[in-house]
Amino acid sequence: MYLPSFSTSSGIFVVGLIWKSAQLHAMWHETKRSVPQPSNRLELQEILQLALDLDAEFQAWESDLPLPWKYAMEPNSTESRAKYSSKWQRLVLTSHGAPAEIHSYTTLKICSMWGYYRTSRMFLLHDLLEMLDWMSRLPEMEPRTSLTRTWRRLAYRLPDKEQFADEQTVTALDDAAMRILRSSVTKSLIRTIEETCSSILGTLTVPVHGKSPDDVMGMKGHVIVWPLSTMDAILSSGLLPDSNESAQPSAAPRSSSTGSLSGKGSPATGKAIHTFYHDTSLATAAYGFSSLPSIPRSPEPYDSTHTRPGAPHMPFTSEKRSHPFDSMSMHPNDSPIDHMGITASETMDIPAKREWLNSMLYYIGTELGIQKAMAVPVLEGYMPIVQARVDNILGR
């Protein structure tokens, strides 16, 4: 009676988008594990086009929504913050890495669907960036071997066969085209992350029939654990350039492998490392989470012994722990070759945003009793940063 039905064209369509995103994500990881691995750009161009087409469907859904699905937006200004309690102001709106906007929703179910939609799109955009990074390491012109058998097994829509019937009609993307694509995808991913962060307070404060506005239900925390943790996993991957750095190393490492809390220099750059890039090897033991399950890894390691001649394949290594919300260990080819020539709109203050994300997760884990929310701040080593701050805000 009080919640809108999702058995509408908009609701059914977005569920289909989420399913397609999951299928393509699996397809991409099968391609990365394939033997032999792709040896030229044309072998990845088809799956890249599928991903671009799917992202266009995501954009089309969002641009043509009926009124009940829409949400209110306002800047995170002094006037807007005054509408909220001191707790929300200090915890969400004025803390390091706080979003620039505040989104308000009418129901928790709408919040939930927007969260699933945006998180699924983040997976898609993340995969797109990895595809472009792989392609940038491969030559443009070599004999092409199709990988469509993998895609048929996943029952995903393939491009028109006639489009690829004549090899002469297929042109591999050149470096300039890939730079343009990477810039566009990077901006879309940053915008989606920012919009998701802007929705967190709206989800925690959305009215629920029969509940007090001061009652932060556990279900509200469950709705945002996946988006928050996924965003932290993406920001830890090194795919997005940090606005604090004028130039990034050629192969950006994960945040958990670049130094310590003391801020020692990075071996790759010789520069001081921000305090939020730190070693997490002792984090679990230090905070009593030794009972947490081990992080799953890729079921089969990347094989560097079957590389085709000329393919710049890099062997897989697993010295560092994967992010708790990224079950696939990072392949060296996933990292950007460089971040040169980027614009301000293609960067993000990653240390500040990760501090904010982990603060939200710590709040959800301790205040709402959702233990899985603690996996990221504990295993990524953020407890020394967020625990004292959040406890102080909550008066503990």
Q: Is the dihedral of CA 287, 290, 292, 298 positive or negative?
A: positive
The Cα 227–Cα 202 span in angstroms is 14
Residue 21: the pLDDT is 95
The Cα 258–Cα 256 span in angstroms is 6
Which residues is 265 bridged to in the sheet?
Answer: 272
Nearest to 366 by CA among 392, 329, 347, 344: 392
Strands 72-75 and 101-104: antiparallel
8 A C-beta contact, residue 355 and residue 97: yes
The Cα 190–Cα 353 span in angstroms is 11
pLDDT tens digit sequence for 160-176:
444 444 444 456 788 88
Nearest to 254 by CA among 308, 313, 328: 328
CA torsion, ordered 253, 255, 258, 259, to nearest 10 deg? 180
Helix (H/G/I), strand (E/B), else coil: 228: helix
The Cα 294–Cα 288 span in angstroms is 14
Residue 337: the pLDDT is 77
The kind and range of the H/E element at 102 are strand 101-104
Token pair recorded at residue 9: 């064209």
Residue 375: the pLDDT is 94
8 A C-beta contact, residue 265 and residue 273: yes
Residue 65: the pLDDT is 83
Token pair recorded at residue 354: 């990760």
Residue 47: the pLDDT is 93
The Cα 147–Cα 36 span in angstroms is 10
Nearest to 362 by CA among 347, 349, 348, 376: 376
Residue 396: the pLDDT is 86
pLDDT tens digit sequence for 189-248:
999 999 999 999 999 999 998 888 778 889 999 999 999 999 999 999 989 999 987 444
Q: Which residues of the chain have pLDDT under 50?
A: 1-3, 146-169, 246-319
Residue 320: the pLDDT is 53
- Residue 354 CB contacts under 8 Å (≥ 6 apart), including other chains: 97, 232, 235, 236, 255, 276, 380, 382
Residue 392: the pLDDT is 95
